[in-house]
């Protein structure tokens, strides 16, 4: 009934036993699918192993902006080999992170962000974005690299828009760009949605002080939202402060349902369908 649209079962801090324990917890929970997001080569390789081990697990291949400092062009070939594996369904998490002053230089981040969008376009794959304190540059680069171009949007089936008063829905272009752990304003979210992006809501929406993300959930039609944990980081209330895990995606989904004024079951089902469409996941297993 739930799809954790961005998590890190691949996290290197887990022992094999811990990973297996988390996996059996997910298998026994209402979480039907997870997207195990890559953020460096070793994490991506582990995510691919996870996806090949567990039927409900899918993987993404990408180098996080804080990990791009030592990349070379040869690494793009290595990434491509991982990206074409069967259960790898997106290039990500890629993007920009300007939070740390002493982090990877911004021009280096921008270069590898562009290069990985180009790879996603070459492979006609969905893109999963990590963007923190870099809203303007992220949008500019995505546009310049054709992430929202008509050509790219023509590669993917259109997606259903919100229900209209006459009971019908418009079918709208889908650029298959997911803004993971969206932390910007409702106005920025509206701009992304208009371009064909999907907005992914993470645990901080449950934090009392976070009016900004609640406004995003209020204003973006649920047809364009997914829910995620980003585990082991950012545990939602009432688990805040503990190591996060995929099964806690329920709390984030409950908050989205509350803000939208719909039932938890409905919010879970719609956000799951949205993530399945985004990652091209079919419900053909014993889930």
Considering only residues 4 to 63 of the shown chain, the ones binding Zn ion according to CB under 5 A are 37
State which residue, 159 or 236, has the beta carbon closest to Zn ion. Answer: 236
Report the residue closest to Zn ion, judged by CB: 230
Min dist. Cβ of residue 8 to Zn ion (A): 6
Scanning 67-75, 101-109, 225-233, 237-245 for contacts with Zn ion by CB under 5 A, the matching segment is 225-233
Segment contacting Zn ion by CB under 5 A, of 17-25, 100-108, 161-169, 223-231: 223-231
CB of 252 to Zn ion, least distance (A): 14
DSSP string spanning 242-259? SPP-GGGHHHHHHHHHHH
- C-alpha pair distances (Å), 252 with each of 71, 123, 266: 35, 32, 14
Query: Who's near 162: CB < 8 A, 6+ residues apart?
Result: 169, 221, 222, 223
Does residue 230 bind Zn ion (CB under 5 A)?
yes
Report d(CA 146, CA 149) in Å as an integer.
5
Count of positions on this chain that bind Zn ion (CB under 5 A): 2
Q: How many CB atoms lie within 10 A of CB 187?
A: 10
> Residues 253-282 vs Zn ion: string with x where CB under 5 A?
------------------------------
Closest approach of Cβ 281 to Zn ion, in Å? Answer: 18
Supply the minimum distance, in Å, between the C-beta of residue 6 and Zn ion: 6
Q: How far is the CB of 133 from Zn ion (least distance, A)?
A: 16
Binding mask 106-135 for Zn ion (x = CB under 5 A): ------------------------------
* C-alpha count within 13 angstroms, C-beta hemisphere, residue 60: 33
What DSSP assignment string belongs to 204-267? GGGSTT-HHHHHHHHHS-GGGEEE---TTS-PPTTSTTSPP-GGGHHHHHHHHHHHHTS-HHHH
| CB 275 to Zn ion: min, Å | 15
DSSP 203: G
Footprint of Zn ion (CB under 5 A): 37, 230
């Amino acid at each position: 009934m739930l799809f954790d649209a961005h998590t890190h079962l691949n996290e290197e801090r887990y022992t094999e036993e811990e990973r297996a324990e988390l996996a059996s917890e997910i298998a026994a929970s209402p979480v039907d699918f997870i997207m195990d997001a890559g953020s460096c080569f070793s994490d991506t390789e582990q995510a691919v192993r996870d996806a090949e081990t567990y039927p409900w697990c899918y993987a993404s291949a990408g180098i996080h902006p804080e990990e791009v400092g030592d990349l070379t062009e040869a690494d793009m070939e290595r990434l491509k080999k991982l990206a074409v594996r069967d259960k790898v369904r997106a290039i990500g998490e890629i993007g920009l992170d300007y939070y740390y002053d002493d982090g990877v230089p911004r021009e280096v981040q921008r270069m590898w962000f562009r290069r990985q969008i180009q790879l996603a376009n070459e492979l006609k794959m969905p893109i999963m974005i990590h963007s923190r304190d870099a809203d303007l540059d992220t949008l500019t680069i995505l546009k310049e690299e054709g992430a929202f171009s008509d050509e790219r949007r023509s590669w993917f089936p259109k997606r259903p828009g919100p229900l209209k008063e006459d009971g019908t829905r418009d079918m709208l272009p889908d650029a298959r760009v997911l803004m993971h752990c969206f932390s910007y304003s409702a106005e920025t979210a509206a701009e992304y949605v208009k371009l064909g992006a999907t907005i992914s809501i993470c645990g901080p929406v449950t934090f009392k002080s976070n009016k900004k993300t609640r406004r995003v959930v209020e204003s973006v039609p649920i047809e364009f939202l997914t829910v995620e944990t980003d585990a082991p980081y950012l545990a939602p209330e009432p688990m805040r402060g503990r190591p996060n895990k995929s099964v806690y995606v329920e709390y984030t989904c409950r908050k989205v349902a509350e803000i939208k004024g719909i039932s938890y079951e409905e919010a879970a089902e719609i956000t799951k369908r949205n993530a399945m469409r985004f990652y091209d996941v079919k419900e053909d297993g014993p889930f």
